[in-house]
Every structure is written in C-alpha cells, then in structure tokens.
Amino acid sequence: MMSYSFLPNAVLILCLGSLVQMAAIAAKRHVGRDALIGFLVLVASLIGIFMPTVLIMTGAMPLFAPDPWASYNAALIVLSAMAIHIMSWRNPVVEDEAVGSEYYLLLTLTTLGSVIMTAAIHDITFFIGLETLSLSLLGLIAFRNRRIDAGEAAMKYIVLSGVSSATLVFGFALNYAETGSLRFLSPSIANAPEPILASMGVILVLTGMFFKLSAVPFHLWLADVLEGTSIPVAALVAVISKVALFSAMVRYFSSVNLYVPSAQVDEILVVAILSMIGGNLLALSQTNLKRLLAGSSIAHIGYLLVAFLSPGPFGLASAAFYLAAYSAATLGMFAIMAGVMPQGADIDDWYGLFRRKPAAALAMSVMLISLAGIPPAVGFFAKFYIAAAGISAHRILLLLVLVLSSTIGLYYYLRLIRIMMLPAPTEASLPEVEAPWGGNTALITVLAVATILFGIFPSGLVGVGRNLLAPPPPANAVADNTAGVGP
Amino acid sequence: MFALPALVALPFLGGLAAWLVGIRGPSRMPWIASLATVVLQILLLLDLTLGTAGMPGWRAHFAAPWVPLLGIDFRLDMDGLSLVLLWLNVLISLPCVLLSSRNVRERAGLFHFLILATVAGINGVFVATDLFLFFFFWELMLLPMFGVILIWGHEGRARAALKFFLFTQGSGLLMLLAILALVIVHAQHTGVLTFNYFALAQTGAMSPLAPFIMAGFFIAFAVKLPMVPFHAWLPDTYAESPTAGSILLSGVLAKTGGYGMIRYVVMLFPGASAHLAPLAMSLGVVGILYCAWLAVSQDDIKRLIAYSSVSHLGYILLGVFSGTRIGMEGAVIQMVAHGLSTGALFVIAGFVEDRTGTRDMSRLGGLWPAMPQFSAMAMFFAAATLGLPGLGNFVGEFLVLMGTWQASHVMTYFAAAGAVLSSIYSLTMMMRVFYGPPKAPDARPLGLPSFSHLTVLGAAAVLLLALGVYPQPVLNLSTPASLHMVDLAEETAR
C-alpha cells in the first residue's frame, strides 16, 4: 500500500521564513526591518494554510495530517501570533535596540513549533514541534535578562518544561514498547499485550501534556511565568501554546472512545473538574492582573476539557469554537494591557479607567464579558455550545461543576469591570495611562468588534467548526505505514 | 411583521442614540432622546395592540434563521400575556426615564443607554419563543442593570451589584442546562435539533427527565421572582439601586420570573409542575408571611418596600401554581398591579430621600405638612399595597386566594393572614414617615413635587383604580395562548 507524507504549507513557509530572518539578522541588524520580515512571514504562512498542499512525498511514513482540524488550529495560531507581533511593537521591553531582532525570530520559531504540533501524527514530529515551541518560548521568557523576575520565570519554565517533556517521552517509549508503532495516537489498551503498561504509557503522555497545558494539579508554574514575562510573551504562553497542545491532545485521543470509562478518561475527568474549580479559585484571590489571567486561562482549559470529554456531534465543534472565542478575548486583554498600561500589573492600577480612557475600558469590558460568558459577546455562545456538547454526552457532573465554577469566575471578571468603573478608593498615585500605538489600537478594535459580532452572528464560525477531524483509519492500515520504523 | 423585532431594537437603538448625543452635548440631550424613544415605543405598542385587537391566541409573529446548524432561530411571538407584560414594561420605563433628569447629571448618556438596554432585554424576554433566544435576552438584561446599580447606586452598591449578578446569572446557567437537556431529549425522540418553543412543548412534558429539566427552569425563575430561600440578593439590591433602578427591578424585572413560571414551567411541564405545586405554593406562603414580618421591622424605607415587594410576589407564585384558571388570572393581575404600586412607592421613597437626604425612617417623620400632595399620593399607594378593595392589588390577591382555596384551604388561611401583616407595615411606614410631629426642628416645606412626578404617580393611580374597578379587559387579554395555535404561527411566519 502506497502512503503519502504531507508537509503542510505553513510549516514550510515558517521554516524558510525563519531562515530568512536569521540571514537578515546575520547580515545587518535593524529592528524595524526584522520585525517587518517576521510579520510578512506570518502573513505568508496564513495564506499558505488556505492553499493546497505543495509538498507531497510518496513512500515515506506519514508525519503530518493535512486535515481541516490542523488547518483550523494553525490558522488560529498564526492569527494569534500576528496579534502578539503587533502588540510587541513599542513595547518598552522590546524597544531595546541591542537585542530586538531575535525577538521576532523567536516568535516565528514558536509559531513554527505550534503549527507543527497541530498537524503532527507521528511521535517524532509532535515532539520536535513541542520542543521547538518550548525552547524558543524559553528564549522569549528570558528575554528581559536584566530583570530578576524574568530569570526566575525562565528558570521555572525550563525545569518544569524539561520534566514534562521527559514524562512525555517516557510515555511514548512505553507506547512504542506496547504497539511497535510511533504513530501519534493513543494505543488501544484493550488489545495491547500488556494493558497495564499501555495504560501507563498513555497516562504518562497525558501527564506531560497536562503539564504544558497547565491544567490543575500541574498548573503551579503558569502564574509565576506569566507574571515574570513581558505582556506579549505572557499572551503567547496563555494562547498559542494552549491552542497547539489542546489540538494535539485531541488528535492523540481521536481513536479512543471517551464514553467508555477507563483510567485515562478518569484522569481527564478529574483534571477537568480540578482545573475548572482550581483555576477560578486561583484567579479569585489575585491582586495582579497577569496572575488573574493565568487562573482564568487554567479555568478555560477546564471548560475545553469538558468539550473534549463530550464526543458526539457537538464535542469537537464546540471545542474549536471555544478555542477561537478564548483566544480572541485573552489576546484582547493582553493587547489592552500592553497598549494602555504596560507597567500596571496591579489590578488596583485599573481604577477609574472608564473615566481616564473610556474606549480602552469599554474594549476591556467586552473581553471580560466574553471570558465570563455573558451575551452578547462570543464567549456566551461558546460556553453555550460546550454545555450543549456536555448535555448531549450526558456529562452532568462536569456541567454542574462548570456552572458552579463559572459563577465563581463571574465574580472576578465583574470585579475588574467594577474597578474600572469606580474611582480609586484611596488617593494612590495611579500609573500614567498611555495611548497605544496605531497598530495596537487597530488590533484591539478588531478583536473587540469580532468578539461582539461573532457573539451575535455565530452561525459562520459554527459552520467552520464542524467536521474538522475525521476519526483515524483503522489500525491495520497503520501497520503498513510504520513498517519502516519497526525494530 | 417587523413590529416584534422593532420592539426589541427600538429601545436599544434609542439608548445608543441617547448615549451618542450625550458624549459631547449637555446632559439634557440624552434625556430627551430616551424620552422620545419611550414615547415611540408606546406608540409602537399601541399600534400593535390595536392592529391585533380581537385576535385570539398568538397575535404577532416573527421568525428568521439565526444559527441554522444548531436549529436556533430568531423567533418572536406575542400572545395576550406577552402583550400585558409589554405594556407594563413600557409604562414602568416611562417614569424611569422621565424622573431621572434631576438625579442623573453625570454621564447621563450612559445611564439612559443602560436603562433602555435593560428595557430592550426585558421586551425580548416577553416575546422570545426560541429557547436560546429567550436565554440570550434573559442574560442580556442583567448586564446593563448591573451597570446601573454599580455606577449610580448608593454606598453599598458594589457589593449589591455583584450579589445581584451572581445570583441571577448562576441560576440562569442552571436554566441553560435545562434548556439544553430539553433540546437534546427532543432531538433523541424526533431526530430534529431545534430550540423552537412550540416544537419542544410537544415532547418536553413526556420525557421521564421532565422533573429535572423543569427544576432547572424553576430555580432560575424562583431566583428572579424571588421565591423565599433565594431572595437573599433582593433587599440589598433594591435598597442600593438608584431610584430608576429600583423601579425597573421591582416593577418589571421581577415579573420576568413570574412570566417564566407561567410560560416555561407550567405550560411546558404541566405534569411535573403539578407535582411541584404544593412545594411551590408552600414556599409562596412562607415568603408572604416571612418577608412581611421582616418588612415590619425595617428602618430603611427602601428595604421596607423591598421586603414588602417580595412578600407580595408570593401571591404570584401561589396563583401560578394553584392549578386553576382563576388563580393564574389573579397572578397576572397581581403582576401588573404590583408593578405599578411598588414602582410608585419607589418613586416616592426616592423623592423623600432626594429631599431629606435620608432613607432612615427613625430620622424621618411628620413630612405631611412639608409635602402634602406627595404624602397623599403615598397614602394612596400604601393603601393599594395593603390591598384596599377597589384597587388593582385587591383584585389580584382576591383572585389568587380564590384559586388557592380550591387547591388548599390551609394555605389560603395563611396567605390571607399576610394581608394583615401588609396593612401593619404599610401603615407603619405612613405613620413613621408622614404623620406625627416633625423630627427635624425647623420643619419647612420641602418644595413642590415636580410636574412630572405628579403626572407619573397620577397615571399609576388612575391605572390602579381602573384595574381595581374594571379588570375584565386585562383578564380577557392575559390568558396565555395555548400551545396548539402553532400552525397559525408557522403560517404567518412564512
């Protein structure tokens, strides 16, 4: 049987683009030009996603699956990367001329790693993508090398990321031992010669993924890392890496019947419940906006896991919709932070923003009500969609936890709106409000308008999100493909 | 055909216009814009009423696809019950807008936008017949109300606003689960994914899950109404809201709970709600007595009205679940009468607070000589609240008690006892605020009430009298249309 290996256009373009960027930096440093090249590379890869695949090789083992699920998530990632690119401009951290150029190179590499992960159907490609993402992210986190908290954040990230990668690889190794295949797919435990070993492998892979996704109880690094990095990089950690990992995780489990209780399903179930409650409780008590968003992002991973655990007509479609809604709102929050008050990480700094900068405060409120799931913002429809998926899969317990925890979530999202509406209680000297640069203003406007418009007219996005991921072909077809890498 | 969507769009767009003219212009501009909006809305509703006069059942329809892949339509239908409550809504929104010219000077545009957006959401709730759309409006009306309480409320506003939002939204999410469960059950039975009220009404009641699904709806409406164990948010919220907010909250927002009980709990799940009825009615009676008791012991005039309001809402619960036609009719009359009388009392409380600077009844007293016209009005509405025959509240309570009598004698005794308590607190309020010697040493006239105040209160008084003397038109109108008029609705929609 002949098999094909695809190389998604976006991966190709991002690889070539990063080489161009490297060459440009090597020739002569010029931050503005390097940033522009980086942006153009992202634009080109976005276009590439919607083009027919160029590179199809025959006779090799499949590394990538060029299916709609990969394209959808890759598009989401590249769009987010463009947003982060825009909000990085004029960021006082990046404006340091001596080191600026590499920042955009690292951004391209992170995008590359993430895009690889969305399409990977082989353990090796997945792992390469993951490590490309992690290592370039480490560079971005540590970029502000003169600041002590950046170093601390980078240290924390590298250690935990290393541990989780090791766990993941160990899991892959066990899977390989069981099935003799490096296909990026959860092995069917029932048919494995040693079910316990196979199940062990899956759980190790899952644990590694949860580490990177920062689901509770593997979440401890996220708040510190977000607090320590610059705002655009925090957005990157909170959005791009989550989208990439979540989409890969969905692919890994696409062959597992999640209706049947098993060790791995139970683990996901427990982690989903813990993430929803834990993330919201974590966010509840924060005084720092970035740490609050860390908690919120953990909680949203929990909601996504509810969709993940609800297979059926709505499950994946609702997860895809939710990913888009979550990305838009979270990126919007970070874009406003970066634009208006890059130094003001304290929630108390945001008192009276409605008086000082009404447009920014309004946009921020739009993002917050979207994250809280209140109409007419898109987050409302997204949460509704997930609840529909959960009900149709009879995940009643998960849904009750979702209701409870999003009520907790309401409290801190609304508290932020409240703070922006009220004048400061004490005559504390609030930090200066800055005017965001034109591109960032445009970005915020686009995100806010999209958040409202997709909330009122969700039909289009619902249509895009359906039938993204077909179940993988049966196992005997796979055996041929992986013959080349057998022992 | 476009009258129903216009009913939702008009206040919203009018509010937006008010906001825009208020950004640069003087603070009077938004007031004029939103007043014009309310007047237009009254005309629109008048046109709709006259145009559909005499039509039985469902009177107006609108349908357009919204998210076809999930079976969600933008579907609005209006029957007599909707029409009565729509009228209540516009009539209550008029004083909210009219009387705010004095109190709201700062950011008037935003204020009018938020008030009118709430009105738009409430209008939507009363006419939506797609369950997703209904939920959309249900949630949509909360957010602007939150803003009104938060920005223009009294000292404890931040806490009150959050409490209000958390209670109503949290319970709303339970309703969302119930809606989804109903839709999925329907889809499993028929293979059609739809949120259409009429389609779901066919299967919803049959499912063995009906009691659980109904419970989700019931809790959401019970929180909004509010029913007794869920009423904790109400006194704070009412007391801390600005006057317009209190009027809107007590006048109409609470009625969406009653409307939901009729339209979604009783009519979608007749069997399950008959099982629930004894519990709901007992809680209604407990609410009547307990909150009346609490109202007697309040010092804050707004909290007194708030508790009295909860107490009277118990009658609505009683009427809806009495299982009799007469009780249901009484509940609708009570909704209208309660909206008018409580709204008027909040106008008066707001005026007293405005002029004397306090809501504490232990520091008020002897206001009658200082503001005679107003005190007479207060006496009238206090009398309405305590159920004086000849006024709307009496008709409502009487019909409810008659309905309840057929269901349970014991509950009727206790519910009727609530009327005694309500005369105690109404008259106590009158005595402590308006009669007796003046507390302030230099009692002077507090200024004449403005013309608009007198107009609004006078109009409410006339309507209450009319409702009390000749309630038949409202009774004829208010019977909810049966679900089997669907065919007509479908035809007209196409």
Could you give the ipTM of this predicted complex?
Answer: 0.87
Closest Cα partner for A329 from A460, A450, A464?
A450
Residues B183, A422: C-beta atoms closer than 8 Å: no
- pLDDT, position A474: 53
Q: Which of B66, B165, B183 sits opposite A410 (nearest CB)?
A: B165
- pLDDT, position A472: 64
Q: A351, A399, A401, A402: which to substitute to probe chain B, counting the most B Cβ within 10 Å?
A: A399
CA dist B27 and B22 (Å) reads: 6
Write out chain A residues lying below 8 Å of B139, CB-based. Answer: 374-375, 380
CA dist A383 and A276 (Å) reads: 13
Residue B114 has pLDDT above 70, yes or no: yes
Do B280 and B265 form a contact (C-beta atoms < 8 A)?
Answer: no
Residue B87 has pLDDT above 60, yes or no: yes
- pLDDT, position A471: 66
For residue A221, being part of any structural domain is answered with yes
Q: What is the mean pLDDT of residues B420-446?
A: 79
The number of residues in chain A equals: 487
Closest Cα partner for B37 from B119, B134, B149?
B119
For residue A457, being part of any structural domain is answered with yes
Residues B67, A410: C-beta atoms closer than 8 Å: no
**How far are the Cα atoms of A72, A376, A405, A457 from residue B67, in angstroms, in the given order?**
20, 14, 27, 8
Residue B105 has pLDDT above 80, yes or no: no
Return the structure tokens found at A7: 């190389």
How many DSSP H helices and E strands does chain B contain? 22, 2
Residues A462, B184: C-beta atoms closer than 8 Å: no
Residue A362 touches partner B, C-beta closer than 8 Å: no
User: Partners of B325 in the beta sheet?
Assistant: none
For residue A177, being part of any structural domain is answered with yes
DSSP 3-state of A64: strand
Q: What is the mean pLDDT of residues B184-190?
A: 87
Min Cα distance A95 → chain B (Å) is 36
Residue B77 has pLDDT above 50, yes or no: yes
Residue B325 has pLDDT above 50, yes or no: yes
What is the chain A residue with the closest CA to B117?
A376
The overall average pLDDT reported for chain B is: 87
**Residue A25 CA, distance from chain mean position:** 28
Identify the weakest region by mean pLDDT among A157-161, A184-188, B24-28: B24-28
- pLDDT, position A439: 87
Largest CA distance in chain B: 76
pLDDT class of A61 with cuts at 50, 70, 90: confident
Residue A352 touches partner B, C-beta closer than 8 Å: no
User: Partners of B62 in the beta sheet?
Assistant: B76
User: Partners of B196 in the beta sheet?
Assistant: B130
- pLDDT, position B251: 87
pLDDT in tens, A269-317: 999 999 999 999 999 989 999 999 999 999 999 999 999 999 877 888 9
Min Cα distance A452 → chain B (Å) is 13
Residue A388 touches partner B, C-beta closer than 8 Å: yes
pLDDT class of A336 with cuts at 50, 70, 90: very high
For residue A316, being part of any structural domain is answered with yes
CA dist A360 and B173 (Å) reads: 29
Residue A478 has pLDDT above 50, yes or no: no
Residue B486 has pLDDT above 50, yes or no: no
- pLDDT, position A2: 55
Left, alpha or beta for A349 (phi > 0: left; psi -120 to 50: alpha)? alpha
Other C-beta atoms lying within 10 Å of the C-beta of residue A78? 26
Residues B69, A459: C-beta atoms closer than 8 Å: yes
Do A403 and A388 form a contact (C-beta atoms < 8 A)?
Answer: no
- pLDDT, position B481: 66
Q: What is the mean pLDDT of residues A418-447?
A: 83
Residues A369, B151: C-beta atoms closer than 8 Å: no
The overall average pLDDT reported for chain A is: 87
For residue A171, being part of any structural domain is answered with yes
How many independent structural domains does chain A possess?
1
Write out chain A residues lying below 8 Å of B146, CB-based. Answer: 414
pLDDT in tens, A64-100: 888 889 999 999 999 999 999 998 886 655 566 556 7
pLDDT in tens, A439-458: 899 999 999 999 999 999 99
Write out chain B residues lying below 8 Å of A385, CB-based. Answer: 70
Residue B485 has pLDDT above 60, yes or no: no
Q: Which of B67, B142, B180 sits opposite A387 (nearest CB)?
A: B180
For residue A487, being part of any structural domain is answered with no
- pLDDT, position A427: 65
For residue A473, being part of any structural domain is answered with yes
pLDDT in tens, B300-315: 899 999 999 989 999 9
Q: B20, B24, B70: which to substitute to probe chain A, counting the most A Cβ within 10 Å?
A: B70
Closest Cα partner for A215 from A296, A152, A302?
A302
Parent domain of A451: 3-482
DSSP 3-state of B285: helix
- pLDDT, position A1: 47
For residue A50, being part of any structural domain is answered with yes
Rg (CA), chain A: 22
- pLDDT, position B482: 61
